[in-house]
Amino acid sequence: MVFLKNIILWVFASILIFFFSSCARLKESVLVEKYIANKYIEQNASMQTLDKYSKVLDQNTSLYLNQKLRGKLQSIIPIKLKKNIVYFKINTFDKKITTTIRKECEESSFIRGIILDLRDNGGGLLSEAVSLVDLFLEKGIILKEQGRKGLDSKVYMAHKKSICKNIPLVILVNAKSASASEIVAGALQIHERATLIGSKTFGKGTIQESIGLPNNKILNITVSKYVLAQDKKIDNIGIQPDINVNHSKIKLYSKKLQFSKQAYKNLHSIAKDKNLDTVLQIGFYVLAYNI
C-alpha cells in the first residue's frame, strides 16, 4: 500500500514539474517572439528565420566563457620596434584601445610608423572601433549603421581633430579578425589610409543586443547591420588585404622582407617567441622601407 502511494506521489510530482516547465518554456517562447518582432532587423521574422548570430544562450555558460576568454588577455599591448615604429597588439576592443593609442601619438613625437595587429581579434565595442578609425582619418564616412525597418540608422563621420593623421599605418588581419576589427581595417583601407596585410577577414557585419530571459537565459539578437563608405558590405564577405600572405608561398617574397631569428629576437625588448612571425615581418618592412 505504501509502495503504491509513493508511486502515485511520484507520478503527480512529475506531472507538476512537466506542467510548470512547459509553462516556463511557453513564457520564454512568447517573450522571444515578442523581442524578435520588436528588435530584429528584418520584418516578419521568427526564431526559425533568424541569422546565425541570433540565439538563446544559457546565461551562466555564456558569462563563464567570456570571463575565461577575456581574463587571460590584455586588450592592448604596445611594443616599440626599430626605426621608430610602434606595434600595437589589439586582442579585443574595450575602452582602453583608443585612449592608449592616442596617448602614444600625443606623447611620442618620434613615431614614424604604426602597426595595428588585429589578428584573432573577434571584435568588441562598436564605439571604440569608430573612435580608433577617427584617430587616423580626417574626413569621410567611417561607418553606416542600418537599424530595423530603416529606423535608428546612423552615419559615423571622421573629424578634423585626427591625432595620428600623418603617421604611416599597417594593419595585420586574418580569418579570425571580425566585427569591430573589420570596421577598423575596412574603413582605413577604403580611404587608402592603411595597408592591410594577412588573409581575408571573417565577414561579420551585424550588431547584436543581449536581452535577459527567464531561467537565467539570454536572447542574443541582431538589431542592426553596417556597411562601410561607398556602401561596401562586410557581412558574409569579409575584407581582402592589400598584401595577401600565404605562408606556404612565402618564399615568393623578396629577401629584403626576411630577417633572421636573431634579428627578430632583437626587434623589441620583450620578444620571446623563437618562431618567425611572417606577417609582422612584412608589416615592419612595408613601413620601414617607406618612411
Is residue 274 part of the annotated active site? The answer reads no
Q: Which of 89, 204, 217, 225 is catalytic?
A: 204
Q: How far apart are CA 261 and CA 259, in angstroms?
A: 7
CB atoms inside a 10 Å sphere around CB 4: 8
- Cα–Cα distance between 187 and 201 in angstroms, integer? 13
Candidates 75, 131, 179, 199; catalytic one: 179
Q: Which residues pair with 124 in a beta bridge?
A: 93
- Phi, psi (5° rounding) for residue 29? -60, -40
| Nearest to 184, CA basis, from 236, 242, 124 | 124
- The contacts of residue 31 (CB under 8 Å, 6+ apart) are 213, 214, 219
Active site residue 144: no
How big is the chain by its Cα radius of gyration, in Å?
A: 24
C-alpha cell at 40: 530584429
Contact 188, 241 (CB under 8 A): no
Q: Is the dihedral of CA 242, 245, 249, 250 positive or negative?
A: positive
Cα-Cα-Cα-Cα dihedral sign, residues 21, 22, 25, 30: negative
Give which of 161, 156, 166 is closest to 186, Cα–Cα: 156
Please give the positions annotated as active site: 179, 204
